[in-house]
A = this chain, B = another copy of it.
Amino acid sequence: MSTPEGPTAAVSEKSAIEESPPQHGYTADKDAYLRRLRRIEGQVRGIARMVEEDKYCIDILTQVAAVTKALHAVSLGLVEEHIGHCVIGAASEPDPGLRAEAIDLKVKEAADAIGRLLR
């Protein structure tokens, strides 16, 4: 994708990027995740305010359920990206021995993470 006339600096920057940070699946949607987490943080603060103002317990419970649901959605997005990037990344490891090991590790991590969400 890089043109042959492009500056060397840009090329090395590109490969540096390829080898580092965006290593995680969620990086592409980073801003969207941050926005969702800020909103969740605000919702939790809103629940604290409801407790402070002695709001009706059932109304507080409704808000807590909404936050739990929003966190589930964030989790699900992260799991999907872990599978789509980390697991698939392990599957593209060229050495077959290392590949099998890397896949096992990543699949196990995914299953453990899902298990923690189900509990």
Partner of A76, one of B23, B82, B115: B115
Using CB atoms and an 8 Å cutoff, list the residues of chain A in contact with chain B.
21-27, 30, 33-34, 37-38, 40-41, 44-45, 47-48, 51-52, 54-58, 60-62, 64-65, 67-69, 71-72, 74-76, 78-88, 91-92, 103-104, 107-119
State A52–B31 Cα separation when bound (angstroms): 9
Partner of A118, one of B45, B82, B117: B117
Number of copies: 4
Query: Contact: A116 with B34, CB < 8 Å?
Result: no
State A65–B116 Cα separation when bound (angstroms): 6
Closest beta carbon of chain B to A43's beta carbon, Å: 9
Say yes or no: A118-B75 contact (C-beta < 8 A), given A41-B48, A44-B44, A48-B34: yes
Closest beta carbon of chain B to A93's beta carbon, Å: 10
